[in-house]
Amino acid sequence: MTDNGKPKKFQEKMELNVALFMLTLAIAVSIGGLVTVVPLFYLNSTWEDRATTPDGKPKNPELSSVRPYSALELAGRDIYIREGCYTCHSQMIRPFRDEKERYGHYSLAVESKYDHPFQWGSKRTGPDLARVGGKYSDQWHEAHLLDPKSVVPESVMPRYPWFAKATLDPNCVVSSMKGMKMLGVPYTDEDISKAPAMVQGKTEMSAIIAYLQVLGTMVKFEEGKDYRD
Amino acid sequence: MATVYLVVGALVGVYIAAELAWPALNFDIPYLTFGRLRPLHTNAVIFAFGGCTLFATSYYIVQRTCYTRLWSDKLAWITFWGWNAVIVSAVVTLPLGITSGKEYAELEWPLDILIAVVWLSYMFNFVMTVASRKVSHIYVANWFFMAMQVMITYLHVVNSLAIPVGLFKSYSIFAGPQDAMVQWWYGHNAVGFFLTAGFLGIMYYFVPKQAGRPIFSYRLSVIHFWTLIFGYVWIGGHHLQYTALPDWSGSLGAAISLAMIIPSWGGAVNGMLTLSGAWDKLRTDYTLRFLIVSLAFYAMSTFEGPLMSIRTVNALSHYTDWTVGHVHSGALGWVAMVSMGAIYHLVPRLWNTELYSTKLVNTHFWMTTISIVFYISAMWVSGIMQGLMWRAYDEQGTLMYSFAESVAAMHPYYALRWFGGTLFLLGTIVMLFNVLMTVTRARTAPALAHASA
């Protein structure tokens, strides 16, 4: 923009021609998205399980243990989304010393590879849940969900008594799994046909607890290893 | 309707703020829980209030600045009813737990389709109106509206891409880190284009009109317009600092966020300096007070935001109430206040009358400004406190506070924030009263009766 004539000419062309203006806008605003979003789809650095050693072997074979959610866990995840749990709880541990002590190993991208949609969250009104799996007993979770204050007196979390009364709908779980399969989550036909039996008669409470108990447990991390930059 | 939705949206906000301070207000009722009402609040204030304000003002501005009528009245009415149908559907579906689980894009797929139809109709009508203008050059306000329309189309389509697994349920086609990046490309640009570019368009018409003076600098408007709409798109990564995204993503987001201070302040400066030589008008013109103070908050928020996108700062601020404070300084200070200025300017003209009470405009102004100060101060203190408590170590080298202790420490600030929000809500009720009294007492005139309220 050094010369007085140039910006005026371009700008004038825009202001005189709405179609040209719209086209230029469409191009101008698409660039940022292309640069920031598209590379994540072809760069191997997006997924830690694609990293290789200098001689071409997978660097982090232990990450292959990340698996799709079971039928019960998936039903629980749907409840988590329905209730908007992500508005108060994050699921993304950052590589800081205090977070490691409080929550565990920092989260890897590959751990949420089957999460359609992702639930990393953006607020911690309540604690991060990325590795809550296995930290508390099922009974603790049940007591906490029915009445958070009974186990955490300072809590501001609402009570969820309806979890214990509502039962799961096997048809819903089957459509969910089929949908996920369409999106590339590796469910087998066997997984899907066994699903109704797995959730028949179970309550929403058992589903959400199953989901919470699996969070962050799928990978056995090697101590001191650098999984990310 | 914008005035009505402002009250509704603020009311839901005040309620959920109260739930955080006094959780008994969840009443064990699924439809009232914080997790289900929060998206209702965000959708109500952004899309119901913000959306109606944008539709109303842009339809008005495009006609005034192009010296021609809307290309199609019928299409405009379709957008009015369509948009309100979306809003009513949101009020029903969100408390029922029908949600996609993606922030600011929670409405499920049938509503996404309706939104797309309304939005494309709006954009088409707007562009055709501009195309049939009686003046040669397109006025600056319309550049901003057009940029917003184009970008929102992209954002809505891409971020809503999902596979339906039921009539009201779907799963995002993206997962994990890719979904995260798409989500925050969307989320940040919803702010950048819907809430910033669109409202800058509003500012560029109502400030010079209310002040009776031309915009300070044409050249500045050209430069800051292009840099703003180009640069804003790159910074979604600043929502994901230190998360499981590659490093370059966060670095890029932070660097460009800082660069964005310049085009943002360009807009603030251009609006404010329009008052050069006429600052005394602020003593008596209360509508102008809203418009100018909104620009001050805009400048403040567009400085705070880039500051928070710096990794070192973000390490403390992410996940805390500071983010909430930042959002509301922009949402209440900039978006709401410039809208209020616009509405106070617009309503008397649309009904060919005078405002019922200018004194109440001033009352509203002070209520709003003070309420915002309460809100953001409470959130600054609580947010920074949270961040510090979470990372505090004692002399033995162990974590000093349990998470629960940090929650307990938040209570007074949650109460204070609720108070600020309530004062803001009361202000919006004053405004609704003033607008309704103005409209019902007006002598009807044929002149501009077509523009939607």
pLDDT tens figures, B21-31: 999 999 999 99
- Contact between B315 and A94 using a beta-carbon 8 Å cutoff: yes
pLDDT for B443 equals 60
- B211 pLDDT more than 90: yes
Q: Does B86 touch chain A (CB under 8 A)?
A: no
pLDDT for B56 equals 96
State the virtual CA torsion across A139, A144, A147, A149 in degrees, nearest 10. Answer: 130
pLDDT for B452 equals 44
- CA–CA min distance B188, chain A (Å): 11
Instruction: List the 114-173 stretch of B: residues with Cβ below 8 A of A.
Output: 127, 130-131, 136-138, 143, 146-147, 150-151, 154, 158, 163-166, 169-173
Write out chain A's pLDDT in tens, 229 residues. 444 566 678 999 999 999 999 999 999 999 999 999 999 999 988 999 988 888 888 889 889 999 999 999 999 999 999 999 999 999 999 999 999 999 999 999 999 999 999 999 999 999 999 999 999 999 999 999 999 999 999 999 999 999 999 999 999 999 999 999 999 999 999 999 999 999 999 999 999 999 999 999 999 998 888 888 7
- Contact between B404 and A153 using a beta-carbon 8 Å cutoff: yes
- CA gap B108, B116 in Å, rounded: 12
Burial class (CB in 10 A: 0-12, 13-18, 19+), A139: exposed
Cα-atom radius of gyration of chain B, to the nearest Å?
22
Average pLDDT over residues B173-201: 96
pLDDT band at residue B444 under the 50/70/90 scheme: low
Place of tokens 């949609």: A117
Instruction: List the 277-316 stretch of B: residues with Cβ below 8 A of A.
Output: 315
Nearest CA in chain A to B392: A98
Whether residue B299 contacts residue B265, with contact meaning beta carbons closer than 8 Å, is answered with: yes
pLDDT band at residue B48 under the 50/70/90 scheme: very high
Q: What sign results for the dihedral spanned by CA atoms B86, B90, B92, B98?
A: positive
Number of Cβ within 10 Å of residue B276's Cβ equals: 10
Q: Examine the predicted complex and report whether its ipTM is higher than 0.90.
A: yes
Helix, strand and coil content of chain B, in percent to the nearest 5, comes to 75, 5, 20
Considering only the beta carbons, identify the residue of A14, A82, A96 that sits closest to B315: A96
- Contact between B179 and A116 using a beta-carbon 8 Å cutoff: yes
Considering only the beta carbons, identify the residue of B146, B165, B320 that sits closest to A22: B146
- CA gap A16, B131 in Å, rounded: 9
pLDDT for A79 equals 97
The model carries a pTM of 0.94
pLDDT for B277 equals 87
Kindly report the backbone phi and psi dihedral angles of residue A108, in degrees, each rounded to the nearest multiple of 5, phi listed first.
-105, 155
A5's CB contacts (< 8 A; 6+ apart) are none
Helix (H, G, I), strand (E, B) or coil at B277: coil
Instruction: List the 187-216 stretch of A: residues with Cβ below 8 A of B.
Output: none
Q: Which two tokens stand for residue B208?
A: 């010079």
Average pLDDT over residues B215-225: 96
Q: Does B108 touch chain A (CB under 8 A)?
A: no
DSSP secondary structure letter of residue B214: -
Q: What percent of chain B has pLDDT over 90?
A: 96
Q: Give the residue from A87, A107, A111 with the most B CB atoms within 10 Å of its CB, the best one to mutate.
A: A87
Place of tokens 């698409």: A30
Q: Does B7 touch chain A (CB under 8 A)?
A: no
Instruction: List the 247-276 stretch of B: residues with Cβ below 8 A of A.
Output: 247, 249, 252-253
State the virtual CA torsion across B116, B118, B123, B126 in degrees, nearest 10. Answer: 180
